Amino acid sequence: MAERKINILICCTGSVAALKIPDIVTRLKQENAWTKRGDPVLHIDLRKWADILVIAPLDANTLAKISHGICDNLLTCVVRAWDLKKPLLFAPAMNTYMWEHPLTREQTDKLEGWGYRQIPVVEKTLICGDKGAGAMAEVSTIVEVILEERGKLLDER
């Protein structure tokens, strides 16, 4: 039987929650879901390579760009070229007032309408000192969702 391998592309945006990326990668390594990091390649090559796309954290700026089709950096170009039959997971992270703005709901609904899966924000005291919803989901939750999607793909193969 051929090796059953699922490639996971982890992307992040300018949110302060990006400091949790090493924790996500470390946990995925512990689960044997992450074995190596490849050399940088073009957005189409990344799209072809990855079986799952994870954007954690997804800040308000990049959420707005993706929902409106703006492709002005590598991440937004990969998303725009993404195969809609493959899982795309996004974990929003932003200030509570940004999270509660009506545009944010419209934009997350649009992404979910395309089949992307949201990993819900949590309520906590944010780095800025505000308390409320908008913080990125816990690392354990993000890893759990990634592993769930990975398992589905492995079951299909």
Known catalytic residues are 128
Strand partners, 132: 124
Q: Which residues in the chain belong to E strands, given as ranges? A: 8-11, 52-58, 88-92, 117-118, 122-125, 131-135
Cα–Cα distance measured from residue 71 to residue 81, given in angstroms and rounded to the nearest whole number: 10
Tell me which residue of 7, 39, 41, 13 sits closest to 146, measured CA to CA: 7
In one letter, which amino acid is 75? Answer: L
Cα–Cα distance measured from residue 110 to residue 107, given in angstroms and rounded to the nearest whole number: 5
Cα–Cα distance measured from residue 12 to residue 17, given in angstroms and rounded to the nearest whole number: 9
